[in-house]
Amino acid sequence: MRRPAKRALYAAFLVGLLLLAGGTPLLWRWASFPSAIWTGEGSRLALLTSLEGRIDPGVPGRYTARLPLLPWFQAASRPVTVHVMPPLEVVPGGESVGVMLRAKGAVVQSLASFPDSPARAAGIRPGDVILAAGGRRLEGIGDLVRAVEGAGKAGRPLPLEIQRGPAVLTLEARPAKLDGQYRLGVWVRDSAAGVGTVTFYDPATGTVAALGHRVSDERGDPYPMRDGKFVTALVSGIQPSRQGEPGEKMGVFLDVQHPLAAIEANTAYGVFGRLAGRPPAKPAVPVAWEDQVHPGPAEMLTVVQGLRPEAFRVEIERVIHSDQPSARSFVLRVTDPRLLQATGGIVQGMSGSPVLQDGRLVGAVTHVFVRDPTRGYGVFAQWMLEQGGLVHGDEERSMVS
């Protein structure tokens, strides 16, 4: 029998012994361990104790190692990429902000129900974005109204440029007169606004990050943003969360004509903008990389009244390691009696609230558990930094001997 075949047989034999000896949990942990992990320079590599001494945690870079099933049996092992990241500091947020977005056209919310609807006949669907009408780009709903009225009075069809997902289509609709006005038979909007929370500021680049997830339309698709802005939001009240009914912050937008930042990107892991001025005068903290996050006490910064963020106690219950970025990186539970009394747990408008542990920025709150609003998901700060273009690919390194 050839040597590789013998090794495979030996590995299968040992796996069988593990299963017989009650080693199923060990085998499952080994098989489900992510193929890539991020850690900070100088970290003790808490998740990779079996690789201790095989990489140099003091030298940033990308290392390739192998994770053995058992420390004394290297034949049964699987590759793991370890990203050792250099130190990075940001200023934690916690401030409530108004998130105001303008669409790059007119977003179709729904179709009117009247008979012979021109939109239905033309093949327009909810979620479509009308980019141009009659050969002219739309700056807002008013442009669409004027184009429909002009085509209707002239008795001619109206060519429409439609974005549907990644595709751009050309459709044609003939406006119909109803109640003295020419109509397409669509309900549209050209803007979106809501209350969110700042996660961090990067003083080096002037970047501000908020929400921890993207702004989506009613169907869950990315909102087709043309531009936008963050403005100061004063929290005037709280609708507390209850089981099955997530609450919300009630905010008032202040000084809309002088925004805090111009929004530049609406991404899967946060909305990013460029500060108009200087960040708040608060100390910067280190970023916690994935390997440095662990179950245990932490704190969340958010506003429950007025303008000032406060720190509230939370517990990180579970850390979810994944090969790919995810907005569900960890599960947290609100434990602070003051916050539970004021809000019932996590409410809408807390998205983006920074979570700190051991003096580091872990990430941001992203979702609430509807059946238990004291608990929710958070996203790792590293995924927000990557989406914001603040961290880049690391250099490949060799394992130390």
The top-scoring range by mean pLDDT among 4-8, 61-65, 247-251 is: 247-251
Residues 147, 200: one domain?
no
pLDDT band at 204 (very low <50, low <70, confident <90, very high): confident
pLDDT digits (tens, 9 = 90+) for 91-126: 999 999 999 998 888 888 888 877 678 888 889 988
Could you tell me if residue 349 is inside a domain? Answer: yes
- Find the length of the chain: 401
Q: Are 291 and 40 in contact (CB under 8 A)?
A: yes
pLDDT digits (tens, 9 = 90+) for 206-263: 999 999 999 887 777 788 888 899 999 999 999 999 988 889 999 899 988 889 999 9
**CA separation for the pair 335, 288 (Å, rounded):** 22
Give the residue numbers annotated as catalytic, written as ranges: 213, 336, 351
**CA separation for the pair 258, 391 (Å, rounded):** 30
* Residue 72: exposure state from Cβ atoms within 10 A (0-12, 13-18, ≥19): exposed
Residues 302, 339: one domain?
yes
Could you tell me if residue 401 is inside a domain? Answer: no
Could you tell me if residue 306 is inside a domain? Answer: yes
pLDDT of residue 234: 94
pLDDT band at 389 (very low <50, low <70, confident <90, very high): confident
- The number of folded domains in the chain is 3
pLDDT band at 41 (very low <50, low <70, confident <90, very high): low
236: domain range?
90-103+192-395
Residues 376, 244: one domain?
yes
Residues 315, 302: one domain?
yes
Could you tell me if residue 108 is inside a domain? Answer: no
Query: How far are the Cα atoms of 147, 160, 172, 184 from residue 122, in angstroms, in the given order?
Result: 16, 10, 6, 9
Residues 212, 147: one domain?
no
Where would I find the H helices in 230-368? 337-343
**CA separation for the pair 279, 117 (Å, rounded):** 51
Backbone angles phi, psi at 93, to 5 degrees: -95, -120
pTM of the full predicted structure? 0.81
Residues 176, 210: one domain?
no
Could you tell me if residue 22 is inside a domain? Answer: yes
CATH of the domain at 134: 2.30.42.10
Residues 166, 36: one domain?
no
pLDDT of residue 401: 32
CATH of the domain at 364: 2.40.10.120
Identify any residues that bridge with 259 across adjacent strands, giving them in sequence order.
Answer: none
